[in-house]
Amino acid sequence: CSGGVLEVDIVCHIQATSPCLHPHHIREALQMITEQGCDYVFSVVRRHQFRWEEVDKKDDKNPTSPNLNVACRPRRQDWRGELYENGSFYFSTRKAWENGLKQLEKMAYYEMLPEYSVDIDVDIDWPVAEQRVLRFGYFGREEKAVVRLFLCKVSGCLTNGQIFTSVSGEDHVAINARDVAGIQMLQRDNIEVILMTSVNELLSRALLEKVAQLAGCGLRFGEQLDGLEVQWLMKEKKLRWDEVAFMGSESEDREILSQVGLNGVPSDAPVADLIAAKYMCQRPAGNGAVREFAEYILMLKKKSLMPVHQENIDRANF
């Protein structure tokens, strides 16, 4: 640093589409430049895939493989495989970068394990990336709050919103046994579950209380079901916003969804187009969405309670 100007000696391009990159990957790759004299380092992953050259269907020609002898085909797990760029990062010295990477004296690759080599290119990569991040992602040293209270709307979440009326005038609703099991899973893990409904709910109070009884949890009626009502509930239970999870489905739920530490919506929820939900269920309301979100809550709790043996990397630790 001279005259207040920070001189850049090494450039690193990190791609946001590789969410399982850890600080130790960056540190070790950086050391390949600072300690081993490399002027260009890029990340790779080992893959066990047999490649075949493409041929024009109009040509009477057999396809050939550059890495496979068809007469002696090995088991892929016994084969060392090949190295492919995984797109996580690219390091280079400033000099190499200014020369357009045309004169590289010493180039090297940094091999990453497959579980960390997540690359999001198309929409179907998202669910795979989400699961990988939960299991292998980097969460830093900051302590994550553990969910202690789960609030769930009845209509549109625990039920699909349909009301069946009998000849005698009695209303009926259906709840999924998987959703009830999901609620019980949370309760066994010391997470309190409260069903929520507004005074404008079409279902009778007696029927709502019966649903809560079947689900084995509390029931809370609200005037507007806004953030203020939930805030009073949190004050009563001495909780913070980041210790509360909420599942809603309608536009009226937006305020609470945007304030809680963790939110989820069923796949068919109208509010899904109005808010960036932290967890979008694959299942619709009344058909396992609550169970799915409950499993997600428990997975995050398990992840947050695991001992973290990861390094932070910042200017002071370079």
The number of angstroms, rounded, from the C-alpha of 112 to the middle of its chain's C-alpha atoms is 21
- Contacts of 310-316 with C-beta under 8 Å, sequence gap 24+, read 310/22, 310/23, 310/24, 310/138, 310/139, 310/140, 310/141, 311/22, 311/23, 311/24, 311/27, 312/23, 312/140, 312/141, 313/23, 313/24, 313/26, 313/27
Amino acid at 306: M
Is the distance from CB of 210 to CB of 169 less than 8 angstroms?
Answer: no
Residue 44's φ and ψ, nearest 5 degrees, are -140, 165
Q: So which residues are the catalytic ones?
A: 73
CA 101 to chain centroid = 35
Query: Which CA distances in Å does 24 have to 21, 40, 229, 266?
Result: 9, 18, 44, 37
Beta bridge partners of 274: none
Residue 287 CA to residue 247 CA, distance in Å, equals 14
User: How far apart are the C-alpha atoms of 116 and 20, rounded to whole Å?
Assistant: 5
How would DSSP label each residue in 19-67? TT--HHHHHHHHHHHHTT--SEEEEEEEE---------TTS------SS
3-class SS of residue 253: helix
Buried b or exposed e, range 198-228, using 16+ CB within 10 angstroms: beebebeeebbeebbeebebebeebeebbbe
* Partners of 41 in beta bridges: 91, 108
Q: How far apart are CA 215 and CA 175, in angstroms?
A: 9
